[in-house]
Each structure stands twice: as C-alpha cells, then as structure tokens.
C-alpha cells in the first residue's frame, strides 16, 4: 500500500515536470495491468519487451507471469525512473533510453525476435514522426505472429494524435483488436491488441 502511494506521488511529480513524455497523472491500476499482460500472452513468451515501464505497474505483473527461461527487457526514457526500477526489480533488465532504439537494444543483448511487446507509452502526446519511428521499430523486432499490446485512455480518443495512432497500427499490424473499456482504471482505458 505504502509502495503504491509512493509510486503515485512520484508519478504525479514526473507528470508535472514533463506532461507530454509521462502522459498520465497516475500509474496504471492492477486491473489494466492484469488484462494487458493476459492479452500479450506473456506466460508463453520467451522474449518479452516493455516500453515505458514508468514506476513498474505492468513490469511487476509481467515478471510474475514470466517463464523461468524467458528474456525480459524494459526500456524507459526517463533515466531517474529507469534507475529506480532497476533498484526495485533487480531481475528485470531495465534500459534507460528511447523505445525508438529497440532494435539496437535487442542486438546488444543478442535477443531473438520478440514474442510480445507490452507498451505503456503515451501515444497521443507523441508527434507523428515519433509514433511512426517507434511503431516501425517495434514491428521490426517482433516475430511473425508476435503481439504488440498497448492501451489508450477513453477521454483521449477524440484527440487527433489518438485517431492517427489507431490508423497507423491498422496499417502496421496484420490484426488489431480493441478490448472492452476497463472502468476500474484511473482514468478508464482500453487495450489495443495487435498481431504481426
């Protein structure tokens, strides 16, 4: 409980300092985390990537469901959050850097193509070029049939960049499915489950 309050306070301070890059006022809740990890099929994956772990709301659930011999790398742009996550979850390889460099990062760890990518990135605050660079890089490192799973807030849906993001994932992946709304999240959200 204390941990959760600390994470929420830290997250909110990060949001105040850098609203576009953090993109949310609070970390994702447990219901969204459970559902995104279930839809990504983390249990049966051998290589799992997480983009934008923040304070680790999805990271801890991924780590719980991961097979013993699976590889798991988390990529976080905020160097301070990456450092804290490394301290909190020493078994997770946390890289401080941008998700755009996912290909280079995978090469440096000699990882095979990913079975799934779980994203916590704030797509609707990204400009078009950054959306494209990260989505292209993510698709390139996924194995055929691999899953790219991400979420969006319901209130952000009318935003131009959110609509654009939806159109780009439709073009980038073979299939895109939208989950029902998860009301037990602050703010309510839904998940896009995309398959290469």
> Which residues of this chain interact with ligand SAM, rule CB under 6 A?
21-24, 27-28, 51-54, 57-58, 75-78, 81, 98-99, 120-122
**Residue 57 or 191 with smaller CB distance to ligand SAM:** 57
Which residues are 151's β-sheet partners? Answer: 191
Nearer to ligand SAM by Cβ, of 54 and 145: the residue is 54
Quick one: residue 126, left, alpha or beta (phi over 0 = left, psi -120 to 50 = alpha)?
Answer: beta
- Residue placing its CB nearer to ligand SAM in the complex, 120 or 146: 120
Nearest residue to ligand SAM, scored by beta-carbon proximity: 120
Q: Which is nearer to ligand SAM, 76 or 115 (CB)?
A: 76
Q: How far apart are CA 56 and CA 149, in angstroms?
A: 16
Angle between helices 128-141 and 160-172 (to 10 degrees): 30
Burial class (CB in 10 A: 0-12, 13-18, 19+), 3: exposed
The minimum distance between CB 51 and ligand SAM, in angstroms, equals 5
- Minimum Å distance from CB 10 to ligand SAM? 10
3-state secondary structure of 81: helix
Nearest distance from residue 133's CB to ligand SAM, in Å?
9
Q: H or E element: which one contains 1? A: none
Of 13 and 175, CB closest to ligand SAM: 13
Q: Least distance (Å) from ligand SAM to the CB of residue 120?
A: 2
Least Å distance, CB 137 to ligand SAM, is 10
Phi, psi torsion values for 79, nearest 5 degrees: -60, -35
């Amino acid at each position: 409980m204390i941990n959760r309050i600390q994470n929420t306070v830290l997250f909110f301070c990060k949001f105040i300092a850098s609203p576009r890059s953090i993109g949310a006022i609070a970390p994702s809740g447990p219901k969204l985390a459970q559902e995104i990890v279930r839809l990504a099929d983390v249990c049966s994956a051998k290589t799992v990537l997480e983009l934008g772990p923040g304070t680790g709301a999805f990271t801890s659930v991924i780590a719980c469901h991961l097979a013993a011999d699976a590889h798991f790398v988390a990529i976080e742009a905020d160097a301070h959050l990456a450092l804290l996550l490394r301290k909190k979850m020493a078994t997770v390889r946390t890289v401080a850097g941008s998700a755009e460099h996912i290909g280079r990062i995978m090469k440096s760890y000699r990882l095979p193509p990913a079975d799934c990518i779980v994203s916590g990135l704030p797509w609707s605050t990204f400009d078009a070029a950054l959306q494209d660079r990260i989505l292209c890089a993510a698709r390139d490192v996924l194995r055929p049939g691999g899953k790219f799973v991400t979420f969006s807030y319901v209130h952000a849906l009318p935003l131009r960049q959110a609509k654009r993001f939806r159109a780009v994932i439709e073009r980038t992946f073979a299939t895109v499915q939208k989950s029902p709304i998860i009301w037990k999240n602050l703010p309510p959200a839904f998940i896009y489950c995309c398959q290469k």
